[in-house]
Amino acid sequence: MAYAYDPQNIFARILRGEIPNSTVLETEHTLAFRDIFPKAPQHVLVIPKGAYVTYDHFFGQASEAEIVDFARTVAKVCEMVGATADAGAMGSRAITNAGEHGVQEVPHFHLHILAGRPLGRMLDMAEAE
Ligand code: AMP
């Protein structure tokens, strides 16, 4: 599969240090930072440092080291911001939008972690625009 990566997208610019971000956690292959327009009391974006457009691109083509690092960073961020769903915790939602139907605004793979309030049902067919 061929994916066209735009190196001028805003998350690529964040990774190059051209735009500031509110970092939650940074590892060798992954960066987690706060969403600039939070949709919940906790809204963190987790991105790989590599040039991947969507989740299918990343999980299909990234190295095992990148994928493991990404997954462990997600788990650490969940612990850090109170987004776990273990006993006594209130849980969270992880979302990744891809492409046109997914209404992806920034074409660099990112996982949204949302927590800190009831998040409602995930999707409703009647809401389709
Ligand atoms: P998506 O629609 O899944 O591509 O989501 C893109 C997200 O990036 C949105 O929730 C935006 O609020 C967020 N965003 C855009 N620019 C920035 C930025 N400079 N820093 C942090 N988050 C951003």
Atom nearest to 35 CA in ligand 1? 22
User: What is the DSSP pairing of strand 30-34 with strand 23-26?
Assistant: antiparallel
Cα–Cα distance measured from residue 53 to residue 99, given in angstroms and rounded to the nearest whole number: 9
Q: Is 110 a catalytic residue?
A: yes
For the chain, domain boundaries: 10-116
One-letter amino acid of 36:
I
Ligand 1 centroid vs 58 CA: distance in angstroms? 18
Q: What is the mean pLDDT of the chain?
A: 96
Q: Which CATH superfamily is domain 10-116 in?
A: HIT-like (3.30.428.10)
State the pTM of this model: 0.96
Centroid of chain to Cα 101: 17
State pLDDT tens for residues 84-94: 999 999 999 99
State pLDDT tens for residues 46-72: 999 999 999 999 999 999 999 999 999
